[in-house]
Amino acid sequence: MTHRTSPPDEFTHWLAGLRSWAAKCQRDADLWRPAAAQGLLSLAVPESAGGSGAGYEAACLALETFAEESGLSGLPFAMAAQMWACQEPLLEFGSSTQRDRYLTPLLTGTAVGAFAATEYDSGSDLLSLRTRADRDEGGRWRLNGAKTFVTNGPTADVFVVLARTAEGSALSGLTAFLVPRGTPGLQVGMVTDKTGLRGAEVSSLHMDDCLLDDSDVLGGPGGGFAVLMHAMRHERAFILAPTLGLMARALREAVEHARSRSQFGHPLASYDTIRRRLVRMHVSLTSARELLHATARRADADTLDHGRSSLTKLHVSTEFNRFCQELPDVYGGYALLPETGVAALLADAVASRYYSGTSDMQMKIIAERLGL
Ligand SMILES: Cc1cc2nc3c(=O)[nH]c(=O)nc-3n(C[C@H](O)[C@H](O)[C@H](O)COP(=O)(O)OP(=O)(O)OC[C@H]3O[C@@H](n4cnc5c(N)ncnc54)[C@H](O)[C@@H]3O)c2cc1C
């Protein structure tokens, strides 16, 4: 694998440490800081900005390993959401003051970050968002509106909030704000009950006359679209990295189940239908992993574009769903028992078609790249 600065031996050693630590993790609760202390959040951040400079492929492999060894899906997803939608924009657009105030604590896990763009009426049609920030007489920004589906919302210390600051084109009419928890007028909603991604908490966010300064603007007034695109370019490419680990774990367990359970006097693994299912799952996992890692190497080489990110999100989520179509049939009725983890993985697979932009929206982006 390619590493930007870390020597491979050092990274391999570090990954082995992460693997044995993760194998002892059994539930998502109270693990954010310990996981951050392992160095998980800082791999894709250059040393000059306080990270370890190991690069994107190393970061993806670490998230994959964490999920595979722990079997946790929610926490790695929530950490990935922060890495790609909060840390990356702070790295790219943050002033040195903003980086010191927010990025440094995000990397060490002493603070949690959330990205709030989606609204009830603006999901796929995100650019129609209605949250507004207007200048008041004193020159401060007055932020009003409501967001939904905010990953890490319940625990976040800082929110990257996308708001409309001018009418007309989204290219110049949107602005991103860094809104600290505790800002008067900012109200975090209850944890949204959901199936899938257990352990990743999502909530709504309400802003009622939150007063902000120019120093709270990320990427400059009118720079919100660029912040959004930068976040999505990374999130779409890498948000599914932990899923590769979950698929690998599920495949290992399914093979074990097929070898150990017998029907009609023979192991399930001896029946061609079961063997083919497991082979198809292996093919799905391999092609998803190969593509995501190749995409990460592009990011390490600074050549990642939006089309490639959408293609990666679409392909990995599609293969994840294919994988999960085969999985229950290896288990039969046992697929319904929580201890097999099959139903939980299925719910995660469904969710993967929607977050970071739905599969239809990724296809729309790819179609445009094809000149359609
Ligand atoms: C687990 C989870 C975590 C999330 N975390 C965050 C977060 O941290 N921050 C954040 O801002 N958002 C977050 N989101 C929101 C996510 O980005 C949206 O769910 C997503 O963009 C889709 O919007 P929607 O759910 O409103 O679906 P809708 O836009 O209502 O779409 C419903 C269906 O209609 C289809 N559709 C819509 N328009 C068209 C069209 N023009 N042509 C064809 N088909 C169309 C869609 O593809 C989809 O299949 C999260 C979502 C989930 C599920």
Best of 127, 177, 353, 358 to mutate for ligand 1, by most ligand atoms within 8 A of CB? Answer: 358
358 CB under 6 A from ligand 1?
yes
**In this structure, which residue's CA is closest to atom 16 in ligand 1?**
355
pTM: 0.96
Among candidate residues 57, 64, 235, 326, the one labeled active-site is 235
**C-alpha–C-alpha distance, residues 218 and 359, integer Å:** 28
Catalytic annotation present for 256:
no
Distance (Å) from CA 101 to ligand 1 centroid: 31
The structural architecture, per CATH, of the domain 114-223 is Beta Barrel (2.40)
**C-alpha–C-alpha distance, residues 157 and 180, integer Å:** 6
Best of 75, 130, 149 to mutate for ligand 1, by most ligand atoms within 8 A of CB? Answer: 149
Which pLDDT score, from 0 to 100, does residue 2 have?
45
pLDDT (tens digit, 9 = 90+) per residue, 1-30? Answer: 444 555 578 999 999 999 999 999 988 889
CATH match for 8-111 among 1.10.10.60, 2.60.40.10, 3.40.50.300, 1.10.540.10: 1.10.540.10
Vertex 26 angle, CA 22 and 32, to 5°: 65
Structure-token pair, residue 173: 């009419």
Structure-token pair, residue 240: 């599914």
Which pLDDT score, from 0 to 100, does residue 170 have?
82
Please, which residues bridge with residue 188 across strands? 205
74 CB under 6 A from ligand 1?
no
355 CB under 6 A from ligand 1?
yes
CATH match for 240-369 among 3.40.640.10, 3.20.20.150, 1.20.140.10, 3.90.1150.10: 1.20.140.10
Structure-token pair, residue 265: 């006097």
| Surface-to-core class of residue 120, CB atoms within 10 Å of its CB (0-12 exposed, 13-18 middle, 19+ buried) | exposed
Residue 201 phi/psi, 5° resolution?
A: -90, 140
Distance of alpha carbon 300 from the chain centroid: 18
pLDDT tens for the 372 residues of the chain, in order: 444 555 578 999 999 999 999 999 988 889 999 999 999 999 999 999 999 999 999 999 999 999 999 999 999 999 999 999 999 999 999 999 999 999 999 999 999 999 999 999 999 999 999 999 999 999 999 999 999 999 999 999 999 999 999 998 888 999 999 999 999 999 999 999 999 999 999 999 999 999 999 999 999 999 999 999 999 999 999 999 999 999 999 999 999 999 999 999 999 999 999 999 999 999 999 999 999 999 999 999 999 999 999 999 999 999 999 999 999 999 999 999 999 999 999 999 999 999 999 999 999 999 999 999
Residue 122 phi/psi, 5° resolution?
A: -130, 85
